[in-house]
Structure 1
Amino acid sequence: MANSPQAKKRARQNERRFEINKARRSRIRTYLRKAEEAIASGDKDAAAAAVRAVQPELMRGVTKGVFHKNTAARKMSRLVARVKALG
């Protein structure tokens, strides 16, 4: 258990940050799931639109420190490749 005032404050900040990051991660995963479903449906236009919607969300996650830059790049690359393969 935190004893010093500084450690107590850090514990509070960590809890708040954890909740914010959890919500952000969940939001990004929802966008990713929608893109996956659009690709699975076989509709190239809908899939392309879904992937375009995912990209800024993923990059925002990178700037906020929720995802690593290479993880986001890998996810985008794979999604775009799968959309291209639909055509």
Structure 2
Amino acid sequence: MANTSQSKKRARQADARLTVNKARRSRIRTFLRKVEEAIASGDKSAAETALRTAQPELMRGVTKGVYHKNTVARKMSRLSSRVNSIAAA
């Protein structure tokens, strides 16, 4: 447990960051789930709109330090290729 005043403050800051980042991660996962559901339903227009709304949330996760930029780039690439493959099928 923290003993000094500085370490106590750091523990408080870490708790605050944890709750904010947990909320951000949950929000991003919700947007990704909506894209996945639209892809599973086979509705290309719904999948495209869901992907378009999920993209800024993912990028915001990068700028806020929740996700690494390459992780988000990989997720976006894979999701967009799956959305584009709906029309081919």
**TM-score relative to the length of structure 1:** 0.99
> Cα deviations across residues 1-56 of structure 1 (Å, max 9, x unaligned)?
11111000000000011000000000000000000000110010000000001100
Percent sequence identity over aligned pairs? 71
Mapping of residues 1-87 of structure 1, within 5 Å = 1-87=1-87
Q: Aligned Cα RMSD in Å? A: 0.4
Gaps of 5+ in 2: none
Looking at structure 2, the residues matched to 80 and 49 of structure 1 have their Cα atoms a distance apart, in angstroms, of 11
Gaps of 5+ in 1: none
> Cα deviations across residues 29-85 of structure 1 (Å, max 9, x unaligned)?
000000000011001000000000110000000000000000000000000000110
Runs ≥4 in structure 1, deviation > 2 angstroms? none
How many residues were matched structurally?
87
Letter in 2 for 1:85: S
Letter in 1 for 2:40: A
**TM-score relative to the length of structure 2:** 0.97
Letter in 1 for 2:56: P
Structure 2 counterpart SS, 1:66: coil
Structure 1 counterpart SS, 2:27: helix
